[in-house]
Amino acid sequence: QVQTVESGGGLVQAGGSLRLSCAASGSIFDINSMAWHRQVPGKQRELVAFISRSGDTDYVDSVKGRFTISRDNAKNTVYLQMNNLKPEDTAVYYCNTNARSSGAHYYQNYWGQGTQVTVSS
């Protein structure tokens, strides 16, 4: 089993910055890709940022130039640095880790519990 611990959300004014973290732990055999998603009530969850095993990244258009996804493989952790935050960034942010647990024969997607990001004004 793989567990994730997500943190870093909070309240910030427009133009401010936050850094989200999500650490995977447990019986991890291998981690493939990692990603951050976000969701607001009544709307579909959307992919915000993606990082591959090799470090290739991709972002939804609305955050390009403002958000940066990175990973620390030694710590099994993915980060999302969010700069120049806008009110429309307000959402619950979820990390997703595509990983294979020890003893498993396939990869699964593991979700964090979500962390609230609120951008005022």
pLDDT tens-digit series, residues 36-53: 999 999 999 999 999 999
Check the CA dihedral 119-21-71-27 and report its sign.
Answer: negative
- Whether the pLDDT of residue 14 is over 90: the answer is yes
- Whether the pLDDT of residue 17 is over 90: the answer is yes
> Which residue matches tokens 């291998």?
30
> Which residue matches tokens 């989200």?
20
Helices (H) and strands (E) in the chain, counts: 0, 11
Q: How far is CA 72 from CA 29, 53, 90, 93, in A?
A: 16, 11, 26, 19
Q: How confident is the model over 58-108, as pLDDT tens digits?
A: 999 999 999 999 999 999 999 999 999 999 999 999 999 999 999 899 999
